[in-house]
Structure 1
């Protein structure tokens, strides 16, 4: 609060309805964010008859690599897009998941890898 008083004039501070302080995200919170993103993607896949399974190791990897101290969890969406969604798109459109199937995301060689079963 002292930093705000130092940085902004009283006139500006009086125009604010509320001041909300954010705390840094911890590992547990990041795992909850990862689970939310995965659940949202799983909901997207269900009508397409695709079952998604993401290993605990991948969840931890996403939580660690999808976090930036400056931007919080914002990079997580892009990471999931690059490592899970984009690779699955080709299989769903042109490959063995056109009619549905099962998808497992597991760690291999220290990175997420997609395993599909029609």
Structure 2
């Protein structure tokens, strides 16, 4: 078994510029729980993480926009068998999402936006 810890970062606006965007409903949600992955599953790490995230946001009544997931190749540390993956995604309350129109959101700190307090709080937590 591998231990996988998922870490999130809040920045970035546009996948074509290799930037990531994570909007969390609460700063406390930034660190998702660890989960176990078998050696067989490790060959398809990206799908395992996507499946885990879908279950996580379903249980917490959030909506994950799967097409927005941007997962880096995992790093395998053979000495302690840990896969650590950093990725980007957008989550929000289910009622406010039309996933067919999902897009990356430009965050301009000079413009007022309903998610500004969340973004500032999360960035402060991570800095």
TM-score by length of 2: 0.31
Name whichever structure is richer in strand by fraction: 2
Q: Which has the larger radius of gyration?
A: 1
Q: In proportion to residue count, which structure has more helix?
A: 1
